[in-house]
Chain A
């Protein structure tokens, strides 16, 4: 796995704006390398966003999401809440990262 996930949570009134940058190749399985061999599919299939451990938003993705995916959304949360993002890819690899809302 490349780098860690970067998450920024910013309070905007009664919601928290979350911006995340994940580190993932997002290979579609349709590309070929220089010698003509197909590069196997390797992409994030699901992202779950939770507030204080409770899932609030789920994203299901195809390989059409760009390499090193950017994902922005808004949740009802407040200072002191913990926002967690977890992704799973088509190989069963996963990564989880949390950030405290300040």
Chain B
């Protein structure tokens, strides 16, 4: 699947080049394309889940979502996600009430363990949703984080 996408991207480059040359596309926009670009652009959680193909995700207790109950500073909220589901291929992190729900999408090879930890911004109290893709199926878990001071207003 991925190799096919890479090949397709290769074939597409000629067209991209022409469009860039014609000034239709800004080069930086081409560079910025992520594999889940449509899901990143979605504003609402359900739209983002759908764009990812994960709208039917099954609730699982095999996903460990580490997040604080209360975040005093919404600009720096530590989030840790670990999947105990065999053959985990990807983990997606959504913040329901952020302007764009999808915050991060991690893809794993068998050489990496399905655990990641990072820090995110949260504009307000919200559900944090972790989605795991394993064996072609989607699983999810969520946790509410209360934010004392929003992290998107600067």
Residues in A lying within 8 Å of B, measured CB to CB = 15, 26, 28, 30-32, 39, 45-46, 49, 51, 54-67, 69-77, 88-92
The answer to whether A55 and B109 touch across the interface, beta carbons within 8 angstroms, is yes
Residues of chain A lying within 8 A (CB to CB) of residue B108: 56-57
Q: Report how far A70 CA is from B123 CA in the complex, Å.
A: 19
**Residue of A28, A51, A92 touching B99 (CB-CB under 8 A):** A28
Q: Considering the complex, give the chain B residue whose CB is closest to the CB of A61.
A: B104
The answer to whether B121 and A59 touch across the interface, beta carbons within 8 angstroms, is no
Q: Considering the complex, give the chain A residue whose CB is closest to the CB of B33.
A: A45
Q: Separation in Å of the B71 CB from the closest CB of chain A?
A: 11
Number of A-B pairs, beta carbon distance below 8 Å? 116
Residues of chain B lying within 8 A (CB to CB) of residue A73: 106, 112-113, 115-117
Residues in B lying within 8 Å of A, measured CB to CB = 27-28, 31-32, 34-36, 40, 75-78, 80, 95, 98-100, 102-113, 115-122, 151-154
**Residue of B40, B109, B117 touching A70 (CB-CB under 8 A):** B117
Residues of chain A lying within 8 A (CB to CB) of residue B31: 88, 90, 92
Q: A61-B104, A64-B100, A65-B104 are contacts. A56–B118 as well, Cβ < 8 Å?
A: no
Q: Considering the complex, give the chain A residue whose CB is closest to the CB of B106.
A: A59
Q: Separation in Å of the A63 CB from the closest CB of chain B?
A: 8
The answer to whether A60 and B113 touch across the interface, beta carbons within 8 angstroms, is no
Q: A28-B152, A45-B34, A72-B118 are contacts. A65–B113 as well, Cβ < 8 Å?
A: no
> Which 5 interchain pairs have the tightest Cβ spacing?
A72-B117, A64-B103, A57-B112, A56-B111, A74-B113
**12 pairs of residues in contact across A and B, judged by CB atoms under 8 Å:** A30-B152, A54-B111, A55-B109, A59-B105, A59-B116, A61-B103, A66-B118, A66-B151, A70-B118, A73-B115, A73-B116, A76-B111
The answer to whether B117 and A64 touch across the interface, beta carbons within 8 angstroms, is no
Q: Report how far A46 CA is from B34 CA in the complex, Å.
A: 7
Q: A15-B113, A45-B32, A76-B111 are contacts. A64–B118 as well, Cβ < 8 Å?
A: no
The answer to whether A58 and B106 touch across the interface, beta carbons within 8 angstroms, is yes
Q: Considering the complex, give the chain B residue whose CB is closest to the CB of A73.
A: B116
